[in-house]
Amino acid sequence: MVSVPVLSVEVKGIERANESLKKYRERLTNAVELGMNSYVENVLYNAQFLAPFKTGKLMASLHMGKDNKTTWWIKDGVSYGKYQEFGFLSKSGQFVQNPFLYPAVMITPPPKFNI
C-alpha cells in the first residue's frame, strides 16, 4: 500500500475578502455608469450638431436612454434618420450619405472613470 500525503488548507477571512470585492464591484459599476452617462450625453450633443439640417426635425428627434447600468442608446425619432446615416440612392441615382452618429462617436473623447 502506498501512502499519499494529504494537504489541508484553512482559509481565514474569506467573508471579509468577499465583502471587499462586493464594495469594489459596486464602486466600479457606479463609476462606469457615471462615466458612460456623461460620454453618451457628449456623443448625443455632437450628433445633434452634425445631423443634416433641412427642417431640424432629425436633430430635434435625437435622444438617449439606457436599458440598465451598463447599456445606453441613442435613437432618432424620424423615419429617414437611418437613410441619412447609412446612405440612400437619390432620384437621380446618386448615392447620398450624411452620417452624423458614427462621426459623433469618433470625435467624442472616451470617458474617464474615477474609481
Name, in order, each residue with C-beta under 8 angstroms of 49's C-beta and a sequence gap of 6 or more.
104
% of the chain exceeding 70 in pLDDT: 97
Top-confidence residue, 113 or 100: 100
Q: What does the pLDDT look like over 8-60, one tens digit per residue?
A: 777 777 788 888 888 888 888 888 888 889 999 999 999 999 999 889 999 99
Domain boundaries, the chain: 14-107
